[in-house]
């Protein structure tokens, strides 16, 4: 799943292509939106908010999208055509952006954007990033630190990759109740996640190890069944969070205080064929 840094980079690219330009093509392939046509309207800005994208037009409308599991915005030549995976097509005289496999698409008045993103906690990569508020939210979360980090209402932009890697780097068990952690520890986790996202926002290949070479980019994410780079033990994956909203968490029991309560300890196969393909 694309995380905050990927969405931030997507917004920047869309902004570069669209800002100040009138739309020459507009095709929203989404229930209730398919008759809307914003052709002729000029783009004011495209910004990210957590994992959400907001495309603001000078008419006072905002096109909101979310990439969810495997969506993306692809920038193509001006005559690019939609295909079966296209959920939105927006174009200028120079470029066409194809919103592929989007998880959400909405159109709202720009003044009402809060109805779509107002529930989000502070945006890790946002101009108004507020680590103190994120810290307060995590301390107050009545759940594990791993689930709390993934909850976008506490802080926005952290997904499985950065939650797993941050907790590994902080040598903390993901199933530790957030409320039991000292504020200093919480602040260190937030700082770690923020620095990882910042360091990766300009790169297509995400790395938490400092290496962008294939197979060397992470410590635990998508590395279950493989040896831990620190202790040599076996990296594992288990589910975390409330039933019906469970997420995956990668971790090293050796470095992070033992097996999680949802981990039966059985041998695990690696997810996918390469460490960089799984983006859950
Ligand atoms: Zn380890």
Catalytic residue among 3, 113, 135, 165: 3
CA distances from 134 to 26, 122, 123, 193, 254 (A): 37, 6, 9, 11, 28
237 Cα to the center of ligand 1, angstroms: 13
3 is catalytic: yes
- pLDDT on residue 272: 53
141 Cα to the center of ligand 1, angstroms: 27
Residue 235's nearest CA partner among 263, 208, 213, 210 is 263
Do 245 and 136 share a structural domain? yes
276 Cα to the center of ligand 1, angstroms: 19
Catalytic residue among 9, 51, 192, 236: 51
Residue 234 lies in a domain: yes
Residue finishing a domain among 117, 142, 162: 117
First to last CA, the chain: 5
Residue 239 lies in a domain: yes
Do 166 and 106 share a structural domain? no
- pLDDT on residue 97: 98
**Strand 52-57 to 61-66 pairing:** antiparallel
192 is catalytic: no
Residue 221 lies in a domain: yes
- pLDDT on residue 70: 93
Structure-block tokens of residue 127:
């101009």
235 Cα to the center of ligand 1, angstroms: 7
Domain span at residue 81 reads 4-117
Do 100 and 31 share a structural domain? yes
Tell me: the pLDDT tens digits for 50-94? 999 999 999 999 999 999 999 999 999 999 999 999 999 999 999
CATH, residue 18? 3.20.190.10
227 is catalytic: no
CATH, residue 226? 1.10.8.50
Q: For residue 122, what are the contacts with CB-CB under 8 A and spacing of at least 6?
A: 128, 129, 130, 131, 133, 134, 137, 155, 156
Residue 175 phi/psi, 5-degree rounding, is: -90, 10
Do 136 and 74 share a structural domain? no
26 Cα to the center of ligand 1, angstroms: 50
Low-confidence ranges of the chain (pLDDT < 70): 271-280
- pLDDT on residue 7: 97
236 Cα to the center of ligand 1, angstroms: 10
Do 107 and 175 share a structural domain? no
51 is catalytic: yes
Contact, 206 vs 226, CB < 8 A? no
Structural domain count of the chain: 2
Do 136 and 196 share a structural domain? yes
Do 135 and 112 share a structural domain? no
Do 152 and 84 share a structural domain? no
- pLDDT on residue 279: 41
Residue 75's nearest CA partner among 97, 46, 101 is 97
């Amino acid at each position: 799943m694309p995380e905050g840094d990927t969405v931030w980079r997507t917004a920047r690219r869309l902004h570069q292509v669209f800002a100040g330009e009138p739309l020459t093509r507009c095709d929203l392939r989404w229930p209730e939106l398919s008759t809307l046509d914003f052709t002729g309207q000029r783009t004011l800005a495209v910004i990210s908010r957590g994992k959400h994208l907001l495309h603001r037009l000078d008419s006072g409308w905002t096109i909101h999208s979310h990439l969810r599991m495997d969506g993306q915005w692809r920038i193509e030549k001006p005559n690019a055509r939609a295909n079966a995976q296209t959920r939105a097509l927006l174009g200028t005289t120079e470029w066409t952006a194809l919103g592929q496999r989007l998880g959400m698409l909405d159109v709202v008045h720009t003044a009402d954007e809060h109805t779509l993103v107002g529930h989000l906690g502070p945006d890790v990569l946002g101009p108004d990033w507020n680590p103190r508020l994120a810290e307060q939210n995590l301390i107050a979360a009545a759940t594990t630190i791993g689930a709390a980090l993934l909850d976008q209402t506490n802080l926005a932009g952290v997904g499985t990759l950065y939650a797993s890697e941050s907790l590994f780097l902080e040598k903390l068990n993901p199933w530790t109740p957030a409320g039991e952690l000292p504020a200093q520890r919480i602040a260190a986790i937030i700082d770690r996640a923020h620095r990882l996202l910042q360091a990766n926002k300009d790169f297509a290949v995400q790395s938490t190890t400092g290496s962008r070479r294939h197979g060397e980019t992470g410590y635990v994410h998508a590395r279950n069944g493989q040896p831990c780079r620190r202790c040599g033990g076996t990296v594992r994956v288990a589910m975390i969070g409330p039933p019906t909203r469970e997420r995956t968490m990668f971790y090293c029991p050796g470095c992070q205080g033992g097996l999680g309560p949802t981990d039966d300890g059985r041998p695990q196969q690696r997810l996918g064929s390469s460490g960089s393909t799984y983006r859950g």
